[in-house]
């Protein structure tokens, strides 16, 4: 029986842009009706080309969706060229969504996790990484119950010190750009986390999602699961 | 083409039903007892139990496992979830975890500390504030005061903000 899959991908930067292509390819070959929404208020810039996949500079959500639509016409792709904020979170994440959270700040992670906590059935898969290691957090709610803990169980997310990019001043936004220069990321690590997030989704589909966190380290080739 | 399945018992990824034997109760208890005396060391994906770390300091473990466990120099050490310093001496059965936040831009420091660093490294930023006082207020309000490093950084930034000559700035930043 055909099902409807509603997937939200928040952030189409270092991790998100690599996650979307294989996700859409996988969904294209299912029988289900698939709706994928890409949400990002940021823009691709030339300096992003080192790690990120895009053709033209412009809003990340718009550009990514435009390219994916050509390759995957079967999938209903939509773009929301805005950051997720208090103002739009309720309309962005709804019941029965699968949310891939590919952002680089705890403020958005908290906002999204809190929203998922209000819903009865939702799957949130959040990825983040340092230069050569990173992790994926999984928050699953079924029938109004937490099957795994919300992201806000982590103190650094619950008591985040950073700001939502949608609420940054110009000076702070420049600060973020400077941070990206000061703290470069590695393409291979972004790919690893994107892949790990998709693996979590597959485990969920197979009814085998029995873990809350997956760590990976590409230098030591170690992977560890927390249940 | 699939990779050949490794056949030796230590390398197989699954126990086939006809060769697997559940350990007896005594063996299980004995193994559990030996594990409880081992020190568990974790950094992210890397995890191992060691039986020879009793009496050693956290700093020495961090140094010796730095490459094997990919531990960053500025990672914090936690024993049973509480932060300890490098001179902390380990006992059997302890859980030692090295942590560093993942997935935050400028993860080495908080966002606000990074702004301060950016100020240090890009002095052309300063005119973007309305005036020096506003910049000083911004930095002093933004930086957390709970760590010595942050305070030192704050003092450095404040020094830059009040410096009047390029030479003074270079001296402060170069300290």
Does the beta carbon of B106 lie under 8 angstroms from any beta carbon of chain A? Answer: yes
DSSP bridge pairs for A100: A9, A125
Count the domains in chain A. Answer: 1
Domain range for B82: 25-99
Count the domains in chain B. Answer: 2
Q: Is residue B106 part of a domain?
A: no
CA distances to A97, A123, B53, B150 from B59, in Å? 45, 40, 12, 21
End-of-domain residue from the set B73, B99, B125: B99
Q: Is residue A64 very low, low, confident or very high in pLDDT (cuts 50, 70, 90)?
A: very high
| B52 and B84 housed in the same domain | yes
Asked whether this complex has an ipTM greater than 0.85, the answer is: no
Rounded CA gap, A111 and A177, in Å? Answer: 22
Write out the residues of chain A at the interface with chain B, using a CB-CB cutoff of 8 A: 103-106, 127-130, 132-135, 156, 161-163, 170-172, 174-176, 178-180, 182-183, 215-217, 219-220, 222-224
Which pLDDT does position B107 carry in this prediction?
37
**CATH number of the CATH domain containing B43:** 3.10.20.90
End-of-domain residue from the set B67, B99, B131: B99
B chain contacts of residue A173, beta-carbon cutoff 8 Å: none
Q: Is residue B5 part of a domain?
A: no
More confident residue, B26 or B58: B58
Which pLDDT does position B160 carry in this prediction?
57
| B95 and B29 housed in the same domain | yes
pLDDT digits (tens, 9 = 90+) for A40-61: 999 888 778 878 888 888 999 9
In this structure, is the dihedral angle defined by the CA atoms of residues B123, B126, B132 and B135, taken in order, positive or negative?
A: negative
Which pLDDT does position A173 carry in this prediction?
66
Does the beta carbon of B115 lie under 8 angstroms from any beta carbon of chain A? Answer: yes
Q: Is residue B19 part of a domain?
A: no
Which pLDDT does position A54 carry in this prediction?
81
Q: Are B79 and B88 in contact (CB under 8 A)?
A: yes
Residue environment code for B12-49, b if the CB has 16+ CB neighbours within 10 A, otherwise e: eeeeeeeeeeeeeeeeeeeeeeeeeebbebbbbbbeee
| B45 and B91 housed in the same domain | yes
Determine the distance in angstroms separating the CA of B111 from the nearest CA of chain A, rounded to an integer.
6
Q: Is residue B3 part of a domain?
A: no
Instruction: Give the residue-averaged pLDDT of B156-168.
Output: 58
| B33 and B63 housed in the same domain | yes
Q: How many percent of chain B have pLDDT more than 70? A: 39
Measure CB to CB from residue B100 to each of A130, A171, A175 and give the nearest one.
Answer: A130
Q: How many percent of chain A have pLDDT more than 90? A: 76
Domain range for A173: 4-226
Tell me whether residues A216 and B45 touch, CB distance under 8 A: yes
pLDDT digits (tens, 9 = 90+) for B93-114: 899 999 986 655 533 344 444 4
Q: Is residue B104 part of a domain?
A: no
Residue environment code for A97-120, b if the CB has 16+ CB neighbours within 10 A, otherwise e: bbbbbbbbbbbbbbbbbebbeeee
pTM of full prediction above 0.90: no
| B116 and B90 housed in the same domain | no
Q: Is residue B1 part of a domain?
A: no
Which pLDDT does position B74 carry in this prediction?
84
pLDDT digits (tens, 9 = 90+) for A23-34: 999 999 999 999
**CATH number of the CATH domain containing A191:** 3.40.50.720
Rounded CA gap, A88 and A8, in Å? Answer: 13
A135, A179, A195: which to substitute to probe chain B, counting the most B Cβ within 10 Å? A179
- Indicate the average pLDDT of chain A: 92
| B30 and B86 housed in the same domain | yes
| B78 and B118 housed in the same domain | no
DSSP code of residue A57: S
């Amino acid at each position: 029986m055909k099902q409807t899959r509603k997937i939200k991908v928040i952030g189409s930067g270092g991790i998100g842009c690599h996650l979307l292509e294989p996700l859409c390819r996988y969904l294209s070959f299912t029988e289900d009706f698939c709706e994928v929404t890409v949400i990002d208020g940021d823009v691709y810039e030339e300096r992003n080309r080192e790690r990120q996949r895009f053709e033209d500079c412009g809003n990340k959500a718009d550009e990514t969706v435009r390219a994916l639509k050509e390759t995957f016409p079967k999938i209903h792709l939509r773009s929301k060229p805005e950051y997720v904020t208090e103002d739009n979170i309720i309309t962005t994440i709804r019941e029965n969504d699968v949310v891939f959270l590919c952002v680089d700040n705890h403020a958005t992670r908290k906002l999204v996790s809190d929203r998922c906590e209000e819903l009865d059935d939702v799957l949130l898969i959040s990825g983040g990484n340092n230069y050569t290691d990173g992790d994926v957090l999984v928050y699953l709610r079924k029938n109004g119950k937490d099957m795994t803990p919300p992201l806000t169980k982590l103190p650094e997310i619950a008591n985040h010190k950073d700001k939502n990019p949608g609420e940054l001043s110009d000076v702070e936004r420049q600060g973020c750009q400077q941070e990206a220069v000061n703290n470069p990321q590695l393409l291979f690590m972004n790919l690893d986390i994107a892949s790990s997030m998709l693996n979590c989704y597959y485990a969920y589909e197979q009814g085998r999602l029995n873990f809350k966190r997956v760590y990976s380290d590409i230098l030591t080739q170690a992977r560890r699961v927390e249940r | 083409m699939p990779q050949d399945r490794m056949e030796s018992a230590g390398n197989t990824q699954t126990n086939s039903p006809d060769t697997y034997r559940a350990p007896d109760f005594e063996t299980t208890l004995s193994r559990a007892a030996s594990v409880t005396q081992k020190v568990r060391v974790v950094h992210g994906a890397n995890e191992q139990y060691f039986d020879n770390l009793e009496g050693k300091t956290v700093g020495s473990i961090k140094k010796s496992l730095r490459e094997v466990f990919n531990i960053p120099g500025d990672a914090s050490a936690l024993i049973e979830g509480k932060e300890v310093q490098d001179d902390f001496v380990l006992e059997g059965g302890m859980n030692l975890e090295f942590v560093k936040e993942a997935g935050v831009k400028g993860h080495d420091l908080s966002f606000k500390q990074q702004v301060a660093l950016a100020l240090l490294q890009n002095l052309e930023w300063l005119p973007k504030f309305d005036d020096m006082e506003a910049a000083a207020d911004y930095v002093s309000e933004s930086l957390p005061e709970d760590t010595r490093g942050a305070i030192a950084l704050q003092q450095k930034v404040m020094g830059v903000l009040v410096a009047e000559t390029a030479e003074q700035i270079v001296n402060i930043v170069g300290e």
